Amino acid sequence: MSRLRGHVSVSTASAFGLCAVLFLIATIHSSGFASGGNVRQLLVFSAFIGFAALGQTVVVLSGGLDLSVPWLMAFGGIQLSHWAGDGMPGGVAIALVVLAGAAIGLVNGVGVAWLRLPPIIMTLAMGGLVQAYLLSLGVLNTGGSGVPHAAEAAASDRIGPIPVVALVWLVVAIGIGIVLARSAAGRRVYAVGANDEVARLSGIDVGRVRLAAYALSGASAAFAGVILAGYVGSTYLDIGAPYLFASIAAVIVGGASIMGGRGTYWGTVAGALTLTVLSAMLPLFHLSDAGLKVVYGVVILAGVWLSQSGGALVARLRQRSSSPTPASPEVKSVEP
Amino acid sequence: MSTASPPLERAPRGARLSLPRIPLGTAATALLLLVLFVVDLNVQPGLWDVDQLGMLVQTALPLVFVAAAQTLALLVRGIDLSVGGVFAIANTMTAVWVGADGGWLMLIAVLAVGLAAGAVNGLLISYLNFQPFIATLGTWTAYSGIALMILSTDGGMVPTVLSDMLYASWLGIPSSFWIVLIAFLLWRILRASRFGHQLLAVGDDEERARLNGTPVRRVRLLVYALAGACAAAGGIMLAGVTSTGSPTSGDGYILLSISAVVIGGTSLAGGRGGFGLSLMGVFSLTLISDIVTGANLDVWVSVAASAVLLLVMVTIRALADRRTARSAA
Amino acid sequence: MSEALEITGLRKSYGPVEVLRGVDLHARAGEIHALLGENGAGKSTLIKVLSGVTGAGAGTVTLGGRRLTLGRPTASTAAGVRTVFQELSTIPQLTVAENLLYGAEPLTPWGLVSGRRLRAQARELLARYGLARIDVTRPLGELALGDRQLLEVVKALREQPKVLVLDEATSALSSEDSAWVLEQGRRAADNGAVVLLITHRLAEMRAHAERLTVLRGGESVLSGATADFTDDELIVGMLGRRLEVLYPQRSGAPGDALLEASGLAVGDRIGPLDLTVRRGEVLGIGGLQGQGQRELLMALGGACGSRGSVRLSGSPYAASSPKAALAAGVALVPEDRQREGLFLQQQVRDNITIASLRALTRPGGLLDAGKAEAAAREQAVQVGVATDRLGTVVSALSGGNQQKVVLGKALLARPSVLLLHDCTRGVDVGTKADIFALIAELADRGVAVVFYSSDLSELVHVCDRVAVMAEGRIVGEVAADALTEQAILRLAVGVTPTRTEVAA
Amino acid sequence: GSSDDNSSSSSSAGDSGSSTSASSSGGESKSGGGPYKIVLSNNYMGNEWRPQMVNVARFVADRMSDKVDLDVRISDATPAAQIQSLQSVIRQRPDAIMIDAASQTALNPVLEQACKQGILVFSFDQVVSADCAYKRPQDYEAQATDAVNWLGTQLRGRGKILMDTGLAGIPLSETYVRVWRQVLADRYPGIEVVGTFESQYAPGPELQGVSAQLARNPQIDGILSGAYIASDIKALEQAGRPMVPMTGLDFNGGQKQCEARRLKCFFIGAPAFVSGMAIERIVRVLDGGEQPRDEIYWDTNYVSAAGDIDFGATQRVEPLKDGENYYADGSDSLVTPITYGDWDITAEDVLAK
Ligand SMILES: Nc1ncnc2c1ncn2[C@@H]1O[C@H](COP(=O)(O)OP(=O)(O)OP(=O)(O)O)[C@@H](O)[C@H]1O
Ligand SMILES: Nc1ncnc2c1ncn2[C@@H]1O[C@H](COP(=O)(O)OP(=O)(O)OP(=O)(O)O)[C@@H](O)[C@H]1O
Ligand SMILES: [Mg+2]
Ligand SMILES: [Mg+2]
């Protein structure tokens, strides 16, 4: 399928390249960075962003944006603790929370697809409603037990040296990657994002695509909240706050267009890894908080620019080597 | 000489249409704004006092200017997250560099710094082909760091000329109203300039704008530079209102400005909308939170109420827009 | 007399693809010079170089003896080159007045645009060209496509151009409006301008152009006085082959009624109208521009809401959405290919298959890549897009080839009713012939085709029957035996129908 | 009376809190009038501390309903939002505004305005610098000094530690970091800060920050944090590293673990009931009683059983004791201790909606 969307795979590859370069720099600076323990940490933290940005990727591809992600993450953790505190088995509670997240996302979809509300406003308001609901629960009413064991296990267990979360993430990424690149559903998502009117006239049920995208985003954000809560061992209202921009930035750093229609989930994976590596490596350089921020911003810009122009260069070279002959006409030409 | 233009045939259709055509959606937003205002007057009778109203407008001033910045960016199919950082730089500069005795000239210099910061965004976006989201995400972070370097925590002294001006009134009307009015007039001037036309053209369809000979990249650069200056003006306003500098004060305005602009009806897809609409968005948000505070609801109820009011507002607008679209078809 | 516009050895590549391979063109001041060539021959590219929006690899352009700096729009504009581009270049959000005077707005002493003078000048400009009916304060996007095209021309004529380029400026226009545009071209030429006319309508070209240049594959292959060439010679020049017939012979007779609409209405201005299309029939929709033809096709294709009842093969058909329509076997080729028909940044193959994904999906939900590729390829062959362009991003195709992709997309859905809105707009003669042959073939296979075209002669030659619309209603029909351009026009402008018909 | 003993005030405030007697005896003792309309202006609900603070205020106001009519206003986290909210509050002319502020200085103009209109302004936790306002901050400097001295003592002046820089731009973090760096430099030159992290006063970022530093530093001997010890423990555990002496805030989760596993922990006291104390003081002022304008709230800090208690603390330091200053069966989120004086605030009260 890289044949079908060559330009995207170039940008995905360059995002991975960016991540690798950063990792290399950090490792050269302090060798502990490449230790098994650190890599494992990086994978786990990336997975949180990766899950938070999973539905976000699809939403962005379809031409939308989901600002309710952080609140759905808080919902994931708090609702889980709440239900588990009421005695629900952990696994069941996790499944129900993810379903409930999907349902909330679906409401976002209804607002965007049917009422035609601007996605930013719809999802922002939905975030407010979720927040209100969580406040009404009594934010802290997590009972003595806090986060159920199932969530902690999901977040912290390992298979051999590899964290379970990272494995799950890999499997999900492969799945989503296939769906986006090779299924009719994926093609419809890209079509809606590229131009919804053309998509509609091409017989695509634009509303349904949007509903599904937002529902997926709700579910994945809730799941991200569950594993984050499991990992941290507690939940609180603002637990998802850092993931608002991170979830979008991962998508964009991964090469997607914020206007929709262009990008891949593998790009997002690369974006999540890049953001995590970057914020993990900068403290090594002993900067003040202020300096850290400046450097973080500049490195993001420089990195994205380098990977972009690197990607463009690769694309150009590839094009040059593949078709050296000029003027391939568009039309069949028949000799007289 | 105005009569020199020939009395052109006025088709009945033309005559009917020559009334200022206010789109239904805009009218709906304006009406809802009015309703919110009336409700707020009932919830908070104190607002009948024009000075009290002036105070309300005053607290909205920073958002007014950040929304202006965001409007510009959105109009050219972009987005500006760096308003948070530019705002903070201007805010802290006002409190630290300008200081209590600083004058207008120095405040203008702060605006120029904002202009330059915005121009960096413009360069990244139009000449290095960054997506606006990433470009301004990067500069936002960097600018926030710079603001923290200028002032590590809340403090500093704000020029008295600024705070005096903000708390003064003119012709019996609080200065905050005048500031909003002037900002709006400046926008009308910008809109009426040749640059204003180019700006809309670029936002509407870059390719067509180019075919028309618009220097697309230069226009974009200028737009982001202006957005930087507007965001800086917002930072200065907050410094004036609070008499202090705060290095983290800008971040809260990023999402807020985007929502205000979108509520007003400026499209994320560019080319459609304007600062007048954004003003309606800003004051809708201001009134909604004022009503909710004034109504003294339970914490979670008030959070929910804000969200619901927002949704109602935007839904009605969306329905009105759709109606217009249908009747136009 | 020295030639005013001399283009010599012009070359231009997009990436590895060389699009112009040494084009020579010599045109005199005061003449209308036609530029002919099949889709993708490089006409628009040549124009873009001329007007400075793209640079060139090699070659020179001189204008009145002065060499033109290439690749700078400002330089071309200063030299007096004005272009009406193939794809509209006016800005929908700006008003008519703002568009007309874009870049030359009257300023107040303060440097601001004077709205009053802007409107006055715009009105004056429109009045000069007999278009005073257009309200200059309306956002341009609210106007009909045809009017927008006219304004495009007015804008180009704003300041006496030295070179006026009309790149398929007439392809979307009714014959009446086309005549108007060409008349403006003639006036400009009379004022000493070089007028470059790009068109795929040979008759139009013959009637107006004194001389011509034919491009094929990025090279100029023929040039000289129009009168020196026969149509056949030109076609061979353009296509590199003979064209046996433009309009095919129809064999089968229409079958029973397939699509029956009664009381169909859209909004409060269109309809109610009754319409029947038979199996194997090509029903033309005629009339002046903007009489509801668009709405009719859109409604039948499920693309806009409508009232009334429609039956398909006798059973009720609810065209609630394009999806429903496609599922029922009704496919629409919409009017504006760039805004309604194509994902410009996606590849040709993705565009062609997008409306037929269901049929290309394996049971598991994944696409059958091989099948999709084969289908796209087959369709590309059928509509005449080179199969090695399947991986090309659509925006890099020439206008005519973009149109073929839209057609391919609709055909892949295997419709039993095909709604065609101006599907030959900007398509070269060779391909046009292919499309007409295709329509005939589809009809012979029992497909019902509803065909709207802004070109009357196409209606006459392609259709079995033409329903003429005016003010949202069907004002009459012209049957096969009485099908002439005059007959359609008479109905369209409201001359009493049937009797005149008989008399003719 | 409630035990307000842990306050240092410039004037010796009478310790006769109005609390319990007033609430149990109904409206009988209306010494100074009332009920007073008090508005609690808070700008944030996102962490675990603020909601508990609000709940305590509600609880105390409820018990004092004959004297207090409490409204709670939550604004968004920006100063401008809190200013706007305060303006709306001022228009309604309450008797007093109690405020946990978004900024030390930004609210001053609007609060001065409130004062001018005769509204009593009382700030606590994150206090404001407006002259007319009553202020009752905690002694951040003393807390930070005690925390770092405790850690220095535990490490016997040698070792590699991680340091929390809190949240960029807020005064509390500024103070902590400044004091810590200074004390380390002056008194513990053998202790090296090998890494910093930004806890943002939230468990997630703290866990991430510590984890990241642990992965990179093979040896860590102590963690100097102003936030979540439970997150530090988790990070150490996940990295398979030995437990080290740690400092943090007085959250029950960390305290439970430190006690149960006999870890060396120092808990900075930041009880949520400062809001209740504020209400009592406001009532006292409104009733015409004595209350200093600037009063430092003296916390008690807590040390787990395994940690030394004798290190020359400037503030009071107590060992952890189940049921008193931590709750072995209670929720991890509780800020401890949950009650003060005679109020008998329960976990349910603190964790209510
Ligand atoms: N080779 C080209 N291909 C496509 N667009 C071009 C090309 N050259 C110029 N343009 C575009 O045409 C527009 C006008 O260009 P012009 O050269 O007149 O202005 P300019 O002063 O160079 O503008 P700029 O500051 O954007 O470079 C610009 O938007 C420019 O990007
Ligand atoms: N931006 C681009 N990038 C790559 N190739 C392009 C680009 N624009 C045009 N081309 C190619 O250049 C060739 C000439 O296109 P051009 O638009 O000049 O054709 P044309 O003669 O105007 O055709 P038509 O009659 O269909 O309008 C085509 O093969 C087209 O695919
Ligand atoms: Mg062309
Ligand atoms: Mg063409």
**pLDDT tens figures, B7-51:** 333 333 333 344 456 778 888 889 989 999 999 999 888 888 888
- Of the candidates B66, B81, B100, B111, the one whose C-alpha atom is nearest the C-alpha of residue B240 is B100
| CB neighbour list of residue C268: distance below 8 Å, 6 or more residues apart | none
**CB of B282 closer than 8 Å to CB of B260:** yes
Indicate whether D32 pLDDT > 70.
no
Rounded to the nearest 10 degrees, the angle between the axes of helix A69-85 and helix A119-137 is 30
CA dihedral D148, D154, D160, D165 (to 10 degrees): -30
pLDDT higher at A322 or C4: C4
Residue B294 reports pLDDT greater than 90: no
Q: Are C478 and C466 spatial neighbours (Cβ–Cβ below 8 Å)?
A: yes
Contacts of B143 in chain A (CB under 8 A): 297
Please tell me which of the candidates C74, C85, C105 has its beta carbon nearest to residue B194.
Answer: C105
Q: How confident is the model at residue D16 (pLDDT cuts 50, 70, 90)?
A: very low
Do chains B and A touch by CB distance (3+ pairs < 8 Å)? yes
B67 — contact with chain A (CB < 8 Å)?
no
Nearest CA of chain C to the CA of B287: how many Å?
30
The pLDDT tens digits for B64-96 are: 999 999 999 999 989 999 999 999 999 999 999
Helix ranges restricted to H, C84-168: 96-100, 115-128, 145-157
Does residue A4 fall inside a structural domain?
no
Helix (H, G, I), strand (E, B) or coil at B81: coil
Which residue in chain D has the smallest CA separation from B241?
D109
Does a structural domain hold residue A288?
no
How close, in Å, is residue C380 to chain A by CA atoms? Answer: 10
Residues 6+ apart with CB under 8 A from A300: A249, A253, A278, B134, B137, B138, B141
Pairing of strands B169-170, B173-174: antiparallel
User: Which chain B residue has its CA at the smallest distance from D72's CA?
Assistant: B299
Task: Decide if A107 is inside a domain.
Answer: yes
- Report residue C18 CA to chain centroid gap: 25
Rounded distance, CA D199 to CA D180, Å? 15
CA distance C357 to A35: 47
For residues C33 and C63, what is the distance between their CA atoms, to the nearest angstrom? 15
Structure tokens at B246: 């705060």
The neighbouring-strand residues paired with C393 are C347
List beta partners, residue D221.
none
Residue D293 has pLDDT above 60, yes or no: yes
**What is the identity of the amino acid at C114?**
S
Question: Is residue B302 a contact partner of residue B289, using CB atoms and an 8 Å limit?
Answer: no
Asked if C462 and C282 count as a contact pair (C-beta separation under 8 A), the reply is yes
Q: What is the number of the ligand 1 atom nearest to the C-alpha of B219?
A: 26
Count of domains for chain A:
1
Structural domains of chain B ordered from first start = 25-31+49-316 (1.10.3470)
Q: What is the DSSP letter of C484?
A: -
D169 and chain B in contact, CB less than 8 A: yes
Chain C residues with CB-CB distance to A185 below 8 A = 365
Contacts of C464 (CB under 8 A, 6+ apart): C250, C254, C281, C282, C283, C284, C443, C480
Residue C157, pLDDT > 80, answer yes
Interface D:A, ≥3 CB–CB pairs < 8 Å: yes
pLDDT tens digits for A136-154?
A: 887 555 444 467 778 888 8
Question: Is the per-residue pLDDT at C174 higher than 80?
Answer: no
Residues 20-79 of A with CB under 8 A from C: none
Each residue's pLDDT tens digit, A163-222: 899 999 999 999 999 999 999 999 999 999 999 999 999 999 999 999 999 999 999 999
B93, amino acid identity: M
Containing structural domain, residue A256 = 45-272
Which helix (H) or strand (E) covers residue C34, if one does? strand C32-37
The span from the CA of B222 to the CA of C409, in Å, is: 42
Give the pLDDT of residue B172.
Answer: 87
Q: The whole model's pTM is what?
A: 0.87
- Whole-number Å distance between alpha carbons of B61 and B179: 8
pLDDT for res A1: 39
**CA B200/CA B76 separation, integer angstroms:** 7
Retrieve residue B40's tokens: 């707020």
Q: Is the pLDDT of residue C420 over 90?
A: yes
Residue A148 lies in a domain: yes
Cα-Cα-Cα-Cα torsion C481, C482, C483, C488, nearest 10 degrees, comes to -160
**Chain B contact for A86 (CB, 8 A cutoff):** no
What is the SS3 assignment for chain D? CCCCCCEEECCCCCCCCCHHHHHHCHHHCCCCCCCEEEEEEECCCCCCHHHHHHHHHHHHHHHCCCCEEEEEEECCCCHHHHHHHHHHHHHCCCCEEEEECCCCCCCHHHHHHHHHCCCEEEEECCCCCCCCCEEECECHHHHHHHHHHHHHHHCCCCEEEEEECCCCCCHHHHHHHHHHHHHHHHHCCCEEEEEEECCCCCHHHHHHHHHHHHHHCCCCCEEECCCCHHHHHHHHHHCCCCCCCEEEECEHHHHHHHHHCCCCEEEECCCCCHHHHHHHHHHHHHCCCCCCCEEEECCEEEECCCCCCCCCCCCEEEECCECCCECCCCCCCCECCCCCCCCCCCHHHHHCC
Report the length, in residues, of chain B: 329
Element of type H or E holding C473: strand C473-478
H or E stretch at C211: strand C211-216
Residue B213 C-alpha to ligand 4 middle, in angstroms?
22
What does the alpha-carbon distance between residue B115 and residue C5 come to, in Å, rounded to a whole number? Answer: 45
Give residue A300's pLDDT band: very low, low, confident or very high (50, 70, 90): confident
Whether the bond between C272 and the residue before it is cis, its omega within 30 degrees of 0, is yes
Q: What type of residue sits at position B33? A: L
Please tell me which chains touch C, using 3 or more CB pairs under 8 Å as the contact test: A, B
Of B275-289, C162-176, C385-399, D190-204, where does mean pLDDT reach its minimum?
A: C162-176
Cβ distance B134 to A132 less than 8 Å, yes or no, reads: no
> Do residues D6 and D316 lie in contact, with contact meaning Cβ atoms separated by under 8 Å?
yes
A145 located within any domain: yes
The label of the residue with tokens 């704000």 reads B158
Q: Which of B136, B101, B90 is CA-nearest to residue B249?
A: B90
Q: What percent of chain B has pLDDT over 70?
A: 92
Give buried/exposed letters for A282-309 (b at 16+ CB in 10 A, else e).
Answer: bbbeebbbbbbbbbbbebbbebbbebbe
Q: Over 90: is that where the pLDDT of C115 sits?
A: no
Question: CB within 8 A of D205, min separation 6: which ones?
Answer: A242, D197, D198, D199
Q: In what order do the strands lie in the sheet with D134-136?
A: D68-74, D36-42, D96-100, D120-124, D134-136
Q: For residue A326, give the ligand nearest its CA.
A: 2
In a domain, A116, yes or no: yes
Query: Could you give the CA distance from residue A16 to residue A121 in angstroms, rounded to a whole number?
Result: 32
**Best residue for ligand 1 mutational test, from B207, B212, B216 (most atoms within 8 Å of Cβ):** B216
What is the predicted pLDDT for the residue at A212? 97
> What's the gap in Å between the CA of B309 and the closest CA on chain A?
9
Which of A71-80, D71-80, D158-167, D169-178 shows the lowest mean pLDDT across its residues? D71-80
- The atom number, within ligand 2, closest to the CA of C48 reads 18
How confident is the model at residue A319, as a pLDDT? 61
Separation of alpha carbons C51 and C69, rounded Å: 10
Mean pLDDT, chain C, as a whole number? 87
DSSP A336: -
Domain annotation covers residue A286: no
Query: Roughly what angle, to the nearest 10 degrees, separates helices B132-150 and B104-122?
Result: 140
Write down the pLDDT at residue C481.
Answer: 84
Q: Which amino acid is at C22?
A: G
Q: What is the mean pLDDT of chain B?
A: 86
Is residue A69 over pLDDT 90?
Answer: yes
Q: Is D160 exposed, middle or buried (0-12, 13-18, 19+ CB in 10 A)?
A: middle
Check residue A140 and give its pLDDT.
56
A334 occurs within a structural domain: no
Which residue type occupies A240? Answer: G
Q: Which one of B205, B208, B217 would you pick to mutate in the ligand 1 pocket, going by the greatest count of ligand atoms within 8 A of its CB?
A: B217
Task: Choose the residue to mutate in C45, C47, C74 for probing ligand 1, maximizing ligand atoms within 8 Å of C-beta.
Answer: C74
User: Which chain C positions have a beta carbon within 8 Å of B200's beta carbon?
Assistant: 91, 93-94
**Ligand 1 site: residues with CB under 6 angstroms?**
B 210, 213-218; C 53-55, 71-74
Chain B segment 219-248 residues within 8 A of A by beta carbon are: none
| Preceding omega of D337 cis (within 30 degrees of 0) | yes
Higher pLDDT, C252 or C432: C432
Q: What is the pLDDT of residue D353?
A: 63
**Does the CB of B56 have a partner CB in chain D at under 8 Å?**
yes
Helix or strand holding residue C213 (H, E)? strand C211-216
Q: How many CB atoms are closer than 10 A to CB B69?
A: 32
Q: Is A191 on the interface with C (CB under 8 A)?
A: yes
The answer, yes or no, to whether residue B318 has pLDDT greater than 80, is yes
Percent of chain B with pLDDT strictly greater than 90: 47
Query: How far away is chain C from the Cα of A6, in angstroms, using its nearest Cα?
Result: 9
